[in-house]
A and B are shown apart, each in its own frame.
Chain A
Amino acid sequence: MTNKYNLLTATMTVLVLSGSAFAQGVPAGAADHGAHHGAAPIPSERASPPSEAAPTASDPPSVAPAPATREQPAMDHGEMQMQGGSPPPDARDPHAYSDGFVRGSGKYSLEPGFRLRLGDEHRYGALLVNRLERSYGKDDNATAFDAQAWFGTSYNRLVVKAEGERSRGALEHARTELLWGHALTAYFDAQLGIRYDSGEGPNREWLAVGIQGLAPYWFELDATAYLGSSGRTALRLEAEYELLVTQRLILQPRIEVNAYGKSDRERGIGSGLSDVAAGLRLRYEITRQFAPYVGVEWVRRYGETEDLAREAGGRSDDTRLVAGIRFWF
């Protein structure tokens, strides 16, 4: 038991570190870069140390920088950072050509009130129901839902996350988060807000802060830390991957890890690593927006949470078949 626990703690630590490393690997100006140009490379991304991408002003302007190597299908482009990074000190000012003019006023402009507003200034929204499923396991059968909605612009959004499970006619547990999402980098958003836990036991409120986005190699990551009343803390990590078997048949492995700083016996939660759910779902996209799926999910409780579950007459682990639909609009 103890060995397994340590292994999973180690796994979780790796997940957290790699999650933040992925986020760090494509930073925006918000991240700390110190004196060097570009972020610290993730070992797997580069074979050679990064060097200055832009030639200095003394280079003959019409000569291209010497290429590092001839092109290969998997060429080492260690000298160029094509994604992320921070602007060099001599980066071009995008407003340099305006000569003080502004849009919507000044010479040749229209009267106020007719400013051109394009789609980048509009707000958009979405509701993605990632899982709406029935699960069948040795524990009671349950209905689970996992959805996320957002509303706002490309860079600032209101985000709602809702995940939960019903069985035996009652809401077992539900986690609802209301967050403000702000774009940090090209692929990651920072999120700040509140989380509300309902279901069995007393409801809990938490402050939530985390990041969500797409890491290299197409891993979708969601990592959030929580601060509750009475010194409660929690950490939730989620990672998903989409493997296209065909254009419409998609295999989705998924893993979710929960850990808590303090135990919350009334909610059946023990401190430390609490539970891990790992699932594999195969969906068929009838349309891009609607896909039924089947899958299998393995749920494991650890440490004190496991003990509490046994005390309550439940199981410490379960393997469940799931069937459901995934849709968005």
Chain B
Amino acid sequence: MKRYSFPHSGSALALPLASRRRFVQGLAAGGVLLGGAASLAERAWSQNGDTATGSAPVLRGTEFDLVIAELPVNFTGTARVATTINGSIPAPTLYWREGDTVTIRVTNRLAEATSIHWHGILLPFQMDGVPGISFPGIAPGETFTYRFRVQQSGTYWYHSHSGMQEQTGMYGAIVIEPADGETIRANRDYVVQLSDWTDDDPMRVLAKLKIQGDVFNLNQPTVIDFFRDVSRDGLRSAIDKRQMWNQMRMSPTDLADLSAYTLTYLMNGVTPAGNWTALFRPGERVRLRFINGAGNTFYDVRIPGLKLTVVQADGVDVEPVTVDEFRFGPGETYDVLVEPSQDAHTIFAQAMDRTGYARGTLASRPGLVAPVPVLDPVQWLTMADMMGGMDHGDGGMASDMQHGNHGAPMDHGAAPGHGTSMSHGAGMNHGAAMNHAAHGQDSRAPATARVRHASTEYGASTDMRVDMARTNLDDPGVGLRDTGRRVLTLADLHTIGGPIDPRGPEREVELHLTGNMERYTWSFDGLEFGRSTPVRFRYGERLRVILHNDTMMSHPMHMHGMWSELESPEGRFQVRRHTIPVQPAQRISFLVTADALGRWAWHCHLLFHMHMGMFREVIVA
């Protein structure tokens, strides 16, 4: 039986153990400090006020008023100031109905400009909330009115798109009821919004990363690790294991830019010590709407003792698939059904770098807790993560990588839209690179395999390039490969109903995800946003976007305004997403129907990567 334990602080010796534990676990009653029931406008600092824990307040209807203001918070024992929406972290959960027109008046009570972006929501570009692209932003004291018709259903979220405000507390959930009523049956329905909090000013955190890119990585390989490897595997093997990393000046444990060294992980705004709890009655089926609203954290989520049946990804119905665990990055959402079998289950979300976790409980009575698992050990990135694929298409990878947990078939020929002839028509464009090995045949050719690095990837902005990327979608990712647990992969996800557009792509665009850890700069094609030109989609076209990850980190890539319809390596429709995690040395492709006029943001949803330049403007015209 797993014992109740504190996070594996291992070699993070510095802070006295008690205060380090306090930082990572947080205060049991951590959260926004409230001054009684005072209205937002008259809110004053109150030393003795209650703290807001538990789920965020719920707002329903078609008219919403959101007020953005700074408020004192205390998650770790240190009082700080957060940017909040209507005084809570997370912000209120907005309940919409598909088909309604919603009006949201957002009032800015900060001293700086703000914005709210509706993540994954289809709407006119002027309502998308990205300052400098959609609109000028909401100035201090100003009220901006968003108004748009809700064209979809499912679980989404909203957050600031200004500065670092998302990191300091401006995020909340959106639950949209389908027009025809909910088809997913559950007795209970909870939003589980995971996020991360730093007591440090996020701009200071970023400044530190600019000075030392690995400043928060306390899991570096050490001399002691080396001797341990020597005694276990022999000198030659220990040297070989490190040789490529050392020669390339890269760290095999570069899993996350931030860690529990500066972050506290929250579940619905509640620290691990606070133990956010969702109640159920025995025999009930519970729906958990997992949202990753973190700034920089990939979470690996599981509920020991329970299987998770994934029914929605990014708000869109998928063929139900039952797994033990899933990983998701900032921006992604998964709706999961569980049927608790015991009085209490721990909802365990460990950070990908294994320095900490967010945690909650599914309980049949308030106050119950279940054992919290020990954090998994940190695993080094493998050859496949560094260099990609030696074979394309199949799962055979570097010898130290296994995935033994994929029972689901990878190919669903029955879904509509597959195997139809490619409609070239008169609008075929040869402007961009296009390869059709199966030109003229019925099945659509998969994405071009030939890798074309941009000419700007050979300079100071790019620290490595992957020439042979892996294209398989069935790799659960570093740290989840040998656990014995079945982990969800993109290959397991199949959108019910097929693609929204039966057309194949008329052309391809290829962009590479690039960066330089030493200089701490991130980019597409070696060009940061400030040095980039927009990517233009012709209105109405259907095109293929290839993303090729020339870095060793996973990037959750989010294109605003339009769906990204992920393809399998064979070129068949896989799943509709708004945020796609691209793994190290991986090459993926997705189809986009450019049906939304205007200018849109497209970026990695790791906040600091976005901020450092992994960002593009997409113009649909």
Contacts and interface: CB of A to CB of B under 8 A. Distances in A.
Contact of A101 (B12, B466, B533, B612): B533
Nearest to A110: B136
B348 to A, nearest CB: 25
Contacts, number: 269
B246 A217 contact: yes
B463 A83 contact: yes
A246 B452 contact: no
B390 A67 contact: yes
Interface stretch (A54-62, A133-141, A308-316): A54-62
A289 B449 CA distance: 45
Given A54-B452, A114-B137, A119-B613, A71 B467 contact: no
Contacts of A328: 211-212
Given A87-B455, A186-B460, A186-B462, A73 B383 contact: yes
Interface stretch (A12-20, A74-82, A229-237, A260-268): A74-82
A114 B437 contact: no
A101 B384 CA distance: 37
Contacts of B533: 94-95, 97-98, 101-103
Nearest to A127: B211
Contact of B11 (A103, A154, A246): A246
A128 B46 CA distance: 40
Interface in A152-203: 154-155, 183-187
Contacts of A102: 533-534
Interface stretch (A1-9, A280-288, A292-300): A280-288
Interface stretch (B172-180, B215-223, B271-279, B304-312): B215-223
Interface residues of B, number: 110
B343 interface: no
Interface in B458-486: 458-468
A285 B214 CA distance: 14
Interface stretch (B147-155, B283-291, B516-524): B516-524
B81 interface: no
Given A117-B530, A120-B530, A246-B13, A185 B467 contact: no
Contacts of A106: 619
Interface in A21-66: 28-29, 45, 53-55, 59-65
A91 B452 contact: yes
A262 to B, nearest CB: 36
A71 B210 contact: no
A94 B454 CA distance: 6
Interface in B498-540: 509-510, 516, 518-521, 523-536
A109 interface: yes
A58 B68 CA distance: 58
B342 interface: no
B611 A119 contact: yes
Nearest to A182: B460
A94 B383 contact: no
Given A121-B528, A155-B461, A328-B211, 16 more contacts: A62-B445, A72-B399, A74-B239, A87-B458, A92-B455, A96-B431, A97-B432, A97-B534, A102-B533, A124-B211, A126-B211, A154-B519, A183-B460, A187-B518, A244-B220, A288-B208
